[in-house]
Structure 1
Amino acid sequence: MNFFKTSLLLAAMTAIFMGAGYLIGGRGGMVIALLVATGMNLFSYWNADKMVLAMHHARRVDRASAPEYYAIVERLAANAGLPMPAVYVIDNPQPNAFATGRDPEHAAVAATTGLLQMLDREELAGVMAHELSHVQNRDTLIMTVTATIAGAVSMLANFGLFFGAAGRDSDNRSPLGGIGVVLAALLAPLAAMLVQMAISRTREYAADRRGAEISGNPLALASALDKIAGAARRVPNMTAEQNPATAHLFIINPLSGARMDNLFSTHPDTANRIRALMAMADDGVRRPAPQPVADGPWSRPRGPWDGGGSSGTGRPPNRGPWG
């Protein structure tokens, strides 16, 4: 996303925050919400990535503690012409990953232990290339700031619902009384969620495409998406459930019971993403020459399209570099 789109989205989130403040506390509430939103935007610019990583209990790893994982990210960052990001692991059984950071020089990528255990080396490379494409496209700032402000909108709405429309004067009273408080509690979080979703679907398609270019293997990323989507429906991510405003950060929606292509989904339909990647393979994006792989969790070929069963959207036609 370019600077203009980033600024526009932040303005929209700020407007939602101010609108909730107005419905809860009138003009006084709106002014307070504006001041809080301004402070949060500044704070989020510098600290949202740290907050998101802390929310999901991510721990930083290096070449010594996670040699294969770190080497994959290092090679992909070099392929993309990016600085080496900080590399994190999240102790969570659900396979998933996200990227964060305000710019490529202050970026981080994180993968769950479930992801590292499930995917083979090339599938993992496809996922991490997808995340690095978010860094390269500068999606990560808006993703993390939006998650922070969306969470704050929900907290403000709940605060107003709990304390009601009390105020000493007309400037500090909801113009609609109790109805305004209820509307803020119901509509403000919904509006914030819709703003998040407005950018999420096209952003994910773009990241899939660029990630396949960085890794050189669109079918490996397609296979990884198929595996992750199937497992995410079965394995709960309790941390994400407790922090739903961060759901759009992940490569696959981490929330249980999510319908992947309805109005309220933060992610596009996985089958559509896989078809787009398969079309890329047919258009000539091929995987690079095989790299020597040491024994480890990513050295065994066990993807759904290389001899295993599909976990999500079904086996594609037998074509491409694995055909």
Structure 2
Amino acid sequence: MLKRVALFLATNLAVLALLSIVMAIFGINASSSAGLLVMAAVFGFGGSFISLAISKWMAKRSTGAHVIEQPRNESEQWLVATVRRQAEAAGIGMPEVAIYDAPEINAFATGANRNNALVAVSTGLLQHMSRDEAEAVLAHEVSHVANGDMVTMALLQGVLNTFVIVLARVVGRAIDGWMSGGRDSGGGGIGYFVTVFVLDMVFGLFASMIAMWFSRYREFRADAGGATLAGRGKMIAALQKLSLNHGVNTLPKQVAAFGISGAIGHGLRKLLMSHPPLEERITALRNTPEESLRQGLAA
């Protein structure tokens, strides 16, 4: 926990320092609203879109996933054939299909767009799920791709990052002016830097809550899409089987939000969870009318 806090503090200091240096190099006035907005947007969206652009490469590297170029056995043949059939039904390009070594039942999808994606499953999934259950998991991941969830998350994160950067600095400027008795310090006094540093963390926490709320929403939608492609019964059975993980998720942080299985959280921690509790997902799937299930898949 202390390591995470230290890393968070160091990241905020680095962003603050880098933003100040870049604005100084380009002669952008920190007190200029237009200049601040431009730089905030560059920083806010830049990181999100760079992450999106390299998401497939990063996912393969961080998980050690083996992309199936030529199926080596019947299981790999089935995986590729199932994803191809579901991708055609969803109206997207054929994703790369991969297997990564992990004990828990899990799978994830990532990629820059609907026609350039990656769908990967864990060895634990292949060992512990039936073909019907695995088919539903693949359908869930294909639904994420068809719904453009990776791009939408990047856009949302970019907006939130920009909001945090701008609002923290606007408030910091106001407090710095108050502390200096109304004298113009150019927005660079001690009150400004302390306020910005603190508000970057506070507003960043609220921004994370919003991003995770959307992440939980898209899991419900992908469950509905998976039920459309594979069948409601198979999707419910797959979610029930995921309870064997007991909240364990060994996926690296970069792709953990895109896995079908998430960590377990209680109380306030639930607000920062990328996945809803499995029982809520199963209940929602059981209670969703048939015609509404199809709305979970953007074809």
TM-based fold match above 0.5: yes
Is 2:266 the counterpart of 1:259?
yes
Aligned-residue sequence identity (percent) comes to 29
What is the aligned partner in structure 1 of residue 144 from structure 2? Answer: 134
Is 2:100 the counterpart of 1:90?
yes
Unaligned runs of 5+ in 2: 1-11, 21-28, 164-184, 294-299
Is 2:74 the counterpart of 1:58?
no
- Aligned residue runs from structure 1 range 221-236, under 5 A: 221-233=235-247, 235-236=248-249
> In structure 1, the residue corresponding to 2:94 is in which secondary structure?
coil
Asked whether the equivalents of residues 100 and 144 of structure 1 are also in contact (C-alpha less than 8 Å), the reply is no
- Aligned residue runs from structure 1 range 240-255, under 5 A: 240=252, 243=253, 246-253=255-262, 255=263
**Cα 1:147–1:228 shift into 2, 3 Å:** farther
**Counterpart of 2:68 in structure 1: which amino acid?**
V
Deviation for aligned residue 1:143: 3.6
**Cα 1:61–1:201 shift into 2, 3 Å:** same
**Counterpart of 1:58 in structure 2: which amino acid?**
A
**Counterpart of 1:70 in structure 2: which amino acid?**
V
- Aligned residue runs from structure 1 range 141-156, under 5 A: 141-143=151-153
Distance in 1, matches of 2:286 and 2:42, equals 48
Deviation for aligned residue 1:258: 2.6
Deviation for aligned residue 1:144: 5.7
TM-score by length of 1: 0.62
**Counterpart of 2:281 in structure 1: which amino acid?**
R
What is the aligned partner in structure 2 of residue 191 from structure 1? Answer: 206
Q: How far does the alpha carbon of each residue in 1:112-155 deviate from its partner, in whole angstroms, 9 at most, with x for none? A: 1111211110100001101111111111223467679999x9xx
RMSD: 3.8
Asked whether the equivalents of residues 45 and 145 of structure 1 are also in contact (C-alpha less than 8 Å), the reply is no
Unaligned runs of 5+ in 1: 1-16, 154-168, 286-323
Greater helix share, structure number: 2
Asked whether the equivalents of residues 104 and 135 of structure 1 are also in contact (C-alpha less than 8 Å), the reply is yes
Distance in 2, matches of 1:277 and 1:38, equals 34
What is the aligned partner in structure 2 of residue 176 from structure 1? Answer: 192
**Cα 1:44–1:122 shift into 2, 3 Å:** same
> In structure 1, the residue corresponding to 2:272 is in which secondary structure?
coil
Asked whether the equivalents of residues 140 and 225 of structure 2 are also in contact (C-alpha less than 8 Å), the reply is yes
**Cα 1:80–1:34 shift into 2, 3 Å:** closer
The total of aligned residue pairs comes to 242
Q: Which of the pair has more CA radius of gyration?
A: 2
> In structure 1, the residue corresponding to 2:120 is in which secondary structure?
strand
TM-score by length of 2: 0.66
Asked whether the equivalents of residues 92 and 112 of structure 1 are also in contact (C-alpha less than 8 Å), the reply is yes
Asked whether the equivalents of residues 134 and 238 of structure 2 are also in contact (C-alpha less than 8 Å), the reply is yes
What is the aligned partner in structure 2 of residue 270 from structure 1? Answer: 278
Distance in 1, matches of 2:102 and 2:155, equals 23
Is 2:53 the counterpart of 1:46?
yes
Distance in 2, matches of 1:51 and 1:147, equals 18
Distance in 2, matches of 1:108 and 1:68, equals 16
> In structure 1, the residue corresponding to 2:83 is in which secondary structure?
helix
Asked whether the equivalents of residues 108 and 255 of structure 2 are also in contact (C-alpha less than 8 Å), the reply is no
Q: How far does the alpha carbon of each residue in 1:172-221 deviate from its partner, in whole angstroms, 9 at most, with x for none? A: 5664343542442x324413312312312221111111111111x21221
Distance in 1, matches of 2:259 and 2:157, equals 11
